[in-house]
Amino acid sequence: MLRSFVSGAAFGAALAAAAIHQPDAIIEQMQFRKWQMLTTFLTASGTSTLLVHVFQRLGYLHLKPRNYSTLNIFGPLDGNVIGGMFLGAGMTISGSCPGTVFAQIGSGIHSGLFTLGGAIIGGIIWSGLLRPVFRTRTKPASDVEDIPKRPLTVEEWTGTSQTSTFVIVESLFGGIIAGIVYLAAPESGGLVGPVAGGLLIASAQLLSIVTRRSLLGTSSSFEEVGDYFWWAVGRGVRPMSYTAIALTTGMIAGALSVSLASPSTRVAPEIVIGPNKAVLGGMLLSIGSRMAGGCTSGHGISGVSLLSVSSFVTVVAIFAGGMGTAMIMGQLNRR
């Protein structure tokens, strides 16, 4: 658990140093007004992809790509699409995501407490109510055997080699980052710029790889809390894992350390999120991320690093849901 805590501390410190945890960074990205979040996110994802590729080739890592999240509503990736859109909507409403909420708490951003409260409620709802319902929709093993093998990675989907896919993906990441930096010149308002912030987040990923032989991911902590809740009230078995809880606790400590060491990072957000919006957004973050099988870190940084098809689909759905929600909220605010 100590290694998870330390990896989380590095992750939380990186988020705080890059100021990517500020509600403004997330909301203004979804409104196409500020490009800090996307620049940092793509840098972290691209660098993590490089790290995972190297460590997999060296034989130090043996990680499987992320599987599809299937709800059996309209297709094999419907959980990734629906969950991703819920997650994106929650990000716009709360100005947070399943990872940055812990950095917000460590940095003293008050809305983060309400967002985390909503996320915990969402985790309880997911574990005790929604997860059992969706499990009943899972097809029997005899039916699954009749389904053709699904491509889990981009190279399987495109029919190209892993090396070729890796080079193409890294080139796309690099080109998009260069284009954003050249055209928008994004700034972070933190201790480091957006690109350096992405490299710091990737450094936390490196620490997780070296110490845990595992990748970063935060949203499963909400499900773990939900499992413990239902066990405590006598409606479930005792959970066997609290790794994600240890990691996210470390994130709070890491962000707190940065805010104490550099008081300039404790800047009040320009966009203030009210308690009701924060709780609602937190619930959507939690339920959406569990429905999708991961969040902006688990899918967006770690899953993409494994070139998982489900992760790329989820990331697209997250931004579609977030930007769509931002447009709807903008129209409502004008009335």
In three-state secondary structure terms, 31 is coil
Structure tokens at 220: 């499963």
User: Which residues are CB-contacts of 80 (< 8 A; sequence separation ≥ 6)?
Assistant: 68, 69, 292, 293, 299, 310, 313, 314, 317
Residues of the chain with pLDDT > 90, as a percent, come to 84
Whether the CB-CB separation of 295 and 97 falls below 8 Å is answered with: yes
Q: How confident is the model at residue 87 (pLDDT cuts 50, 70, 90)?
A: very high
Which helix (H) or strand (E) covers residue 245, if one does? helix 243-261
The pLDDT value recorded for residue 316 is 97
Q: What percent of the chain has pLDDT over 70?
A: 96
Contact 153, 308 (CB under 8 A): yes
pLDDT in tens, 142-175: 444 445 688 999 999 999 999 999 999 999 999 9
What residues contact 4, with CB distance under 8 A and at least 6 apart?
Answer: 212, 243, 244, 246, 247, 250
pTM assigned to the model: 0.93
Q: Answer yes or no: are the C-beta atoms of 93 and 333 closer than 8 Å.
A: no
Q: DSSP per residue over 62-121, as a string?
A: --PPPPP---SSSSTTHHHHHHHHHHHHHHHHHT--TTHHHHHHHHT-THHHHHHHHHHH
List the single range of 46-60, 139-153, 191-205, 222-236 with lowest mean pLDDT.
139-153
Place of tokens 């994802």: 45
Over residues 269-304, the pLDDT tens digits come to 778 899 999 999 999 999 999 999 999 999 999 999
Q: Which amino acid is at 241?
A: S
Query: For residues 216, 217, 221 and 223, what is the CA-based torsion angle, rounded to 10 degrees?
Result: -150
Asked whether the predicted pLDDT for residue 62 surpasses 50, the reply is yes
State the CB neighbour count (10 A cutoff) for residue 127. 25
Which long-range CB contacts under 8 A does 224-233 form with residues at least 24 apart?
A: 224/123, 225/120, 225/123, 225/124, 226/120, 226/123, 226/124, 226/125, 226/126, 226/127, 226/128, 227/127, 229/123, 229/124, 229/127, 229/128, 230/124, 230/127, 230/128
Rounded CA-CA distance 323/13 in Å is 27
**How large is the average pLDDT for residues 32-51?**
96
Q: What confidence score (pLDDT) does residue 265 get?
A: 73
Q: Which of 167, 166, 173, 169 has the alpha carbon at shortest distance from 41? A: 173
Q: Measure the CA–CA gap between 135 and 94, rounded to whole angstroms.
A: 29
Provide the token pair at 59.
């034989």
Asked if 75 contacts 150 with a C-beta cutoff of 8 angstroms, the reply is: no
